[in-house]
């Protein structure tokens, strides 16, 4: 029986995540309170790579045997299938999955809001702006990565991140853009706030081919920030915040330089985005994404994956608090696909899946108990497992039952395109 080295996550991290998640909010979200208003705002939260096993592992670790995650306390729940329309595989990537959300059409892996023939499709981000709403995106990935890109750009190849950034500025113009990926906004040789080839990853370097897009953003009225202090001091107006060369973490196997310590937390970025976007009297659309769940699951790194899930919980808490005091807000929490083929197992179970990439991971403590659990990986890639979806607010009841992932678009469009 082969196990990875046991790693007990710090109790203070778990306690802080649960406290920040607002599990004891006095202003509890209820089904009755969710149905009183017509939706004006939409908050879509993506735990990239998060399916049922990831949510259950987070629940045990962060909330305990009898506890609940903030994302699971939302009053309506259902399931989404995730398969793409790709002749090569029935398993989706983030680009095809986000395209289904953003456009209502399934497409091939790698596509950013284009159909299977490469034709551009209308996106919810652009449609929300056309309807007079404020729009924004928050992510711990590059801001031009697949999931946010699908809502605000069209390209046949998700890797064209400098072109995606250009489209943000010149075509769809989101009001708030917060996350990582400064390298794609600057031409080669023009390091920005974050130096090229940092010690933690020598491959990170400015690589844009569309000119100095940071300068262009400033010329178009965006305030550019690159630190937590600058973000805190930003008041109103369009906002571009890039807080790292690429992702806001280092996605590596456990003990091999893996780091999850974003310069600005997902919850902080979410709070700033909400305070900025909510000044629009016609409402807003905000996409929030925690990328670390997927990236660390690709490395079968349970320690960091749980840490990222804890940070997602804090961001959900921020959104829950906002929705509880703004009953015209539809809040949806889901994942674009599953990553890792994950199962939550008892620590006494033999490791059926073997060594290497499929070795068990753990044990991890169950909060407020003497028990623990293992994580058993079966792949370093994505799987076809359904993903849970939970929701609160006007139209949230439409997420009950089992639906294709295009159903997210169908519900959100009822708010954002009118």
pLDDT tens profile 344-391: 999 986 665 555 666 789 999 999 999 999 999 999 999 999 999 999
Place of tokens 């987070």: 58
In a domain, 321, yes or no: yes
Angle at which helices 11-20 and 302-325 cross, to 10°? 20
Residue 5 DSSP class: P
- Stretch among 14-23, 34-43, 195-204 having the lowest mean pLDDT: 14-23
In a domain, 5, yes or no: no
Q: Which of 77, 94, 265, 353 is catalytic?
A: 94
CA distance 167 to 240: 14
In a domain, 2, yes or no: no
Q: How far, in Å, are 69, 139, 315, 316 from residue 319 at the CA level?
A: 14, 14, 6, 5
What CATH number corresponds to the domain at position 148? 3.40.720.10
pTM of the model: 0.92
Cβ 151 vs Cβ 124: under 8 Å: yes
Which domain, by its residues, includes 148? 11-26+34-416
Model pLDDT, residue 19: 43
In this model, does residue 25 exceed pLDDT 50? no
In this model, does residue 22 exceed pLDDT 90? no
What mean pLDDT is predicted for residues 383-400? Answer: 98
In a domain, 94, yes or no: yes
Neighbouring C-alpha atoms within 13 Å toward the C-beta of 14: 20
Task: Establish whether 278 is a catalytic residue.
Answer: no
Model pLDDT, residue 201: 86
Q: Are strands 284-290 and 176-180 parallel, antiparallel or unpaired?
A: unpaired
Q: How confident is the model at residue 14 (pLDDT cuts 50, 70, 90)?
A: very low
In a domain, 183, yes or no: yes
In this model, does residue 20 exceed pLDDT 70? no
Question: How many domains are contained in the chain?
Answer: 1
How far apart are the two ends of the chain, measured CA to CA in Å?
A: 58
Left if phi > 0, otherwise alpha if psi is -120 to 50, otherwise beta: which for 292?
alpha
């Amino acid at each position: 029986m082969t196990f990875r080295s046991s790693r007990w996550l710090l109790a203070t991290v778990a306690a802080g995540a649960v406290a920040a998640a607002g599990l004891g909010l006095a202003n509890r979200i209820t089904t009755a309170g969710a149905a009183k208003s017509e939706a004006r705002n939409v908050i879509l939260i993506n735990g990239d790579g998060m399916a049922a096993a990831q949510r259950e592992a987070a629940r045990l670790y962060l909330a305990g045997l009898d506890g609940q995650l903030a994302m699971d306390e939302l009053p309506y729940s259902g399931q989404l299938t995730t398969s793409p329309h790709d002749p090569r595989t029935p398993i989706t990537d983030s680009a095809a999955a986000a395209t289904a959300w953003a456009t209502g059409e399934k497409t091939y892996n790698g596509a950013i809001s284009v159909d299977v023939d490469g034709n551009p499709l209308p996106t919810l981000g652009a449609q929300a702006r056309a309807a007079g709403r404020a729009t924004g995106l928050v992510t711990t990935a590059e801001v031009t990565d697949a999931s946010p890109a699908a809502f605000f750009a069209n390209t046949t190849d998700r890797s064209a991140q400098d072109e995606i950034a250009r489209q943000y500025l010149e075509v769809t113009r989101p009001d708030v853009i917060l996350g990582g990926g400064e390298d794609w906004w600057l031409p080669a040789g023009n390091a920005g706030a974050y130096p090229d080839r940092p010690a933690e990853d020598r491959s990170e370097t400015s690589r844009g081919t569309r000119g100095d897009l940071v300068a262009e953003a400033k010329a178009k009225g965006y305030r550019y920030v690159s630190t937590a202090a600058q973000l805190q001091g930003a008041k109103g107006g369009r906002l571009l915040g890039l807080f790292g060369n690429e992702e806001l973490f280092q996605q590596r196997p456990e003990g091999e330089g893996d780091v999850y310590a974003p310069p600005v937390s997902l919850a902080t970025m979410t709070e700033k985005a909400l305070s900025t976007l909510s000044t629009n009297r016609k409402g807003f659309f905000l996409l929030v994404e925690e990328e670390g769940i997927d990236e660390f699951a690709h490395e079968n790194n349970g320690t960091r994956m749980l840490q990222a899930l804890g940070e997602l919980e804090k961001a959900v808490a921020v959104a829950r608090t906002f929705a509880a005091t703004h009953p015209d807000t539809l809040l949806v929490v889901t994942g674009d696909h599953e990553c890792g083929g994950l199962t939550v197992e008892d620590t006494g179970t033999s490791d059926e899946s073997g060594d290497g990439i499929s070795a068990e991971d753990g044990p991890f403590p169950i909060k407020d108990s003497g028990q623990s659990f293992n994580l058993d990986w079966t792949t370093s890639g994505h799987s076809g497992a359904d993903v849970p979806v939970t929701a609160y607010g006007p139209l949230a009841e439409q997420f009950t039952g089992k639906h294709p992932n295009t159903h997210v678009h169908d519900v959100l469009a009822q708010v954002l395109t009118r």
